[in-house]
């Protein structure tokens, strides 16, 4: 009895077509094909769930600082600040930081440019560096870097910081936004976290904001949320004129989606949409007059992709409990 064709197995595992009688009979009796099929189905299942993992945000830069500090305290040898990763154009591939004398063996880390056939979304493409502090300031006190470790051409003006980044727009848009925002902050433009929120000019009147006496709910960042998110909300008004005022900071702009506010009922798993958050840190949202806030007492901010699906995406980033 011949085994099932590998290509046929793959198609079946991907959910194409159905097993015919012969194939069913063969799988019943052939342990090897059965195992292959089970594994390929497993791979297909995992593969289908990799989409959100394709462009993971960079790991937080302040965690990198903590790693360096901890290693500096525990060990003599630790990596010098990667100055060039910030001031140079972001390396497209695993290439040696340009201004890094200590790394004498050229990068071996550098794969021959043609070695990886993966073209557009190259696996070795490093994410844009987190908006870390500028090189010189990043030298930890215990750094034992040789004197030559000074950057060959340190960024002398914020403009230099900005230019290469702006000139090479690539990768997820919000990364570029963050880096540019960081550059602008260096330039002393008086930028606040609100810039990260900017999603285009808008001429609406300023929304109301929470006042001192309003009962306030702190919104906590949930696992998976971009770091640095924080916010609060408060409920104002009464009867048919209740508003939820939401203040959220540090929300990276999303090219392919929005943030939306909801009220959730933990008991019934009910979900009440309040509306998409516009630009700006402060939002004023109308609470439907029939909504029972004793039940719908969880304030939830979710990241919603532009996928035409109005339901909650399940990707909550901030949440808090109404008093």
Partner 1 sequence: MAAVTSADDRFAALFQAGDEHALRLAYERFGPAVHHLAARTLSSAADAEDVTQATFVAAWLGRAGFDPARGSLLGWLLGIARRKIVDHLRAAARDDRIAESARRLAFFVPAAAPPEAVVDRLVVADELAQLPGDQRRVLELAFYDDLTHQQIAAVTGLPLGTVKSHLRRGMARLRDRWEVDGVTPGARAAGPSRAR
Residue with tokens 């339901």: 311
- Beta carbon nearer to partner 1, 40 or 191: 40
Q: Does 185 bind partner 1 (CB under 8 A)?
A: no
Residue with tokens 């600040």: 81
Pick from 2, 18, 21, 50 the residue near partner 1 by CB under 8 A: 50
Q: Does 306 bind partner 1 (CB under 8 A)?
A: no
Contact 270, 295 (CB under 8 A): yes
Q: Does 60 bind partner 1 (CB under 8 A)?
A: yes
The stretch among 108-116, 192-200, 236-244, 285-293 that binds partner 1 (CB under 8 A) is: 108-116
- Beta carbon nearer to partner 1, 28 or 31: 31
Q: Phi/psi at 254 (nearest 5 deg)?
A: -120, 125
The stretch among 211-219, 239-247, 285-293, 311-319 that binds partner 1 (CB under 8 A) is: 311-319
Q: Which of 299, 312, 235, 316 is nearest to 263 (CA)?
A: 299
The stretch among 36-44, 160-168, 188-196, 248-256 that binds partner 1 (CB under 8 A) is: 36-44
Find the binding residues for partner 1 in span 135-164 (CB under 8 A): none
Find the binding residues for partner 1 in span 211-240 (CB under 8 A): 220-225, 227, 229
Q: How far is the CB of 201 from partner 1 (least distance, A)?
A: 31
Find the binding residues for partner 1 in span 236-265 (CB under 8 A): 264
Q: Which of 79, 89, 163 is nearest to 126 (CA)?
A: 89
Q: How far is the CB of 90 from partner 1 (least distance, A)?
A: 10
CA count, 13 A, side-chain hemisphere, 268: 12
Pick from 34, 92, 216, 242 the residue near partner 1 by CB under 8 A: 34
Q: Region of 276 please: left (phi>0), alpha (psi -120 to 50) or beta.
A: beta
Helix (H) or strand (E) holding 67: helix 61-74
Relative to beta strand 270-276, strand 216-221 is: unpaired
- Beta carbon nearer to partner 1, 72 or 291: 72
Q: Which of 63, 75, 55 is nearest to 123 (CA)?
A: 55
- Beta carbon nearer to partner 1, 206 or 267: 267
Cα separation, 36 vs 279, in Å, equals: 50
Q: Does 98 bind partner 1 (CB under 8 A)?
A: no
Pick from 100, 177, 272, 283 the residue near partner 1 by CB under 8 A: 100
Pick from 75, 148, 239, 309 the residue near partner 1 by CB under 8 A: 75
The stretch among 38-46, 165-173, 248-256, 282-290 that binds partner 1 (CB under 8 A) is: 38-46
Q: Phi/psi at 234 (nearest 5 deg)?
A: -145, 155
- Collect all residues with Cβ–Cβ distance below 8 Å to 322 and sequence separation of at least 6: 217, 235, 293, 297, 298, 299
């Amino acid at each position: 009895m011949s085994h099932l064709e590998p290509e046929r197995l793959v198609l079946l595992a991907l959910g194409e077509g159905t097993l015919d009688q012969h194939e069913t009979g063969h799988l019943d009796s052939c342990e090897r094909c059965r195992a292959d099929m089970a594994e390929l189905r497993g791979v297909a299942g995992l593969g289908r769930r990799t989409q959100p993992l394709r462009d993971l945000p960079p790991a937080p830069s302040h965690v990198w600082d903590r790693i360096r500090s901890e290693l500096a305290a525990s060990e003599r040898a630790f990596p010098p600040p990667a100055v060039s990763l910030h001031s140079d154009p972001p390396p497209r591939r695993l290439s040696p930081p340009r201004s890094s004398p200590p790394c004498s063996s050229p990068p071996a880390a550098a794969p021959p440019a043609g070695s990886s056939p993966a073209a557009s979304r190259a696996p070795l493409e490093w994410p844009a560096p987190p908006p870390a502090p500028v090189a010189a300031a990043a030298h930890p006190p215990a750094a034992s870097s040789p004197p030559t470790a000074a950057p060959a051409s340190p960024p002398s003006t914020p403009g230099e910081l900005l230019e290469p980044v702006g000139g090479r727009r690539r990768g997820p848009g919000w990364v570029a936004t963050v880096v540019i925002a960081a550059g602008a902050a260096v330039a002393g433009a008086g930028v606040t976290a609100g810039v990260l929120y900017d999603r285009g000019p808008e001429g609406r009147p300023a929304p109301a904001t929470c006042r001192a006496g309003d009962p306030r709910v702190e919104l906590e960042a949930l696992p998976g949320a971009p770091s640095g998110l924080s916010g609060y909300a408060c409920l104002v008004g009464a009867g048919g004129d209740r508003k939820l005022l939401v203040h959220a900071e540090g929300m990276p702009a999303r090219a392919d989606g929005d943030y939306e506010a909801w009220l959730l009922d933990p008991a019934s798993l009910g979900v009440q949409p309040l509306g998409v958050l516009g630009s700006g840190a402060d939002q004023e949202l109308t609470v439907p007059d029939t909504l029972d806030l004793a039940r719908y007492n969880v304030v939830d901010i979710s990241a919603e992709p532009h996928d035409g699906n109005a339901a909650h995406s399940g990707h909550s980033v901030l949440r808090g409990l109404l008093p």
